[in-house]
């Protein structure tokens, strides 16, 4: 059995979304790839709605077992960080509503998983995505290729399971899971007020 992962490279203008199936032997197959685009001139809530609608279509059509999302990190451009964080919030919300495990991965982590070097450039990462998925060309734009890289990275790092294993969790995630267990909750509990 293979693990189906939906990878998301979040952004307000271009949100890359890619779906891959990854077998236990780490062989990855492209299922779908798309870029959800929004106009810079549209109101923020309309842009987030468009991203949410596009993601819902992908989630409903391809029914992934897990979601991989680029971890928001600090950049010099606060406006860019805010847009990425807002799009990420939509992804997290829709995933939680469906009870899907979400793996957060840094760009360095994804590059290291696919190329063996965390400082790889976009061209090197894209080439490895094409090679791993046995494609004739690198998916474009880079947002599409990055989304596929996230999905592959998550599948490889999670050992072919939908929920991240302890080895794939950060110390903070491990502490959070331990706190949930001691409180009698699991990551799947989604009750209001708890």
Nearest to 151 by CA among 73, 58, 74, 83: 58
Sign of CA dihedral 49, 54, 60, 63: negative
Homologous superfamily, domain 2-185 = Ribonuclease H-like superfamily/Ribonuclease H (3.30.420.10)
The model's pTM: 0.81
Q: How many CB atoms lie within 10 A of CB 44?
A: 12
Annotated binding site: 9, 70, 143
Confidence class for position 164, pLDDT limits 50, 70, 90: very low
DSSP string covering 56-124: HHHHHHH--SEEEEEPP---S-HHHHHHHHHHHHHHHHHHHHTT-EEEEE-HHHHHHHHHS-TT--HHH
Q: Give residue-wise pLDDT tens across range 52-97.
A: 999 999 999 999 999 999 997 766 678 788 889 999 999 999 999 9
Stretch 114-129: mean pLDDT: 95
pLDDT greater than 60 at residue 161: no
Annotated binding site for Mg(2+): 9, 70, 143
pLDDT, residue 158, reads: 85
Cα(173)–Cα(175) distance, integer angstroms: 5
Annotated catalytic sites, by residue? 9, 70, 143
> What are the sequence ranges of the domains in the chain?
2-185
Stretch 105-119: mean pLDDT: 95
Compute and round to an integer the Cα radius of gyration of the chain: 16
CB 14 within 8 A of CB 36: yes
pLDDT, residue 192, reads: 42
pLDDT, residue 1, reads: 80
pLDDT, residue 187, reads: 47
């Amino acid at each position: 059995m293979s693990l189906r992962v939906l990878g998301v490279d979040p952004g307000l203008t271009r949100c890359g979304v890619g779906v891959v199936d990854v077998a236990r032997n780490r062989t990855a197959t492209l299922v779908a790839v798309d870029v959800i685009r929004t106009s810079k001139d549209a109101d923020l809530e309309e842009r987030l709605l468009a991203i949410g609608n596009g993601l819902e279509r992908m989630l409903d059509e391809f029914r992934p077992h897990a979601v991989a999302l680029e971890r928001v990190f600090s950049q010099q451009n606060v406006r860019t960080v805010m847009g990425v964080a807002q799009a990420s919030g939509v992804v997290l919300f829709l995933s939680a509503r469906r009870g899907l495990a979400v793996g957060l991965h840094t760009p360095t982590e994804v590059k290291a998983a696919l190329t063996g070097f965390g400082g790889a450039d976009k061209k090197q990462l894209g080439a490895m995505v094409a090679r791993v998925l046995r494609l004739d060309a690198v998916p474009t734009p880079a947002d599409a290729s990055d989304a596929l890289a996230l999905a592959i990275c998550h599948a490889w790092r999670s050992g072919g399971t939908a929920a991240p294993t302890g080895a794939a969790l950060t110390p903070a995630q491990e502490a959070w899971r331990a706190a949930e267990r001691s409180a009698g909750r699991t990551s799947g509990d989604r009750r209001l007020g708890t």
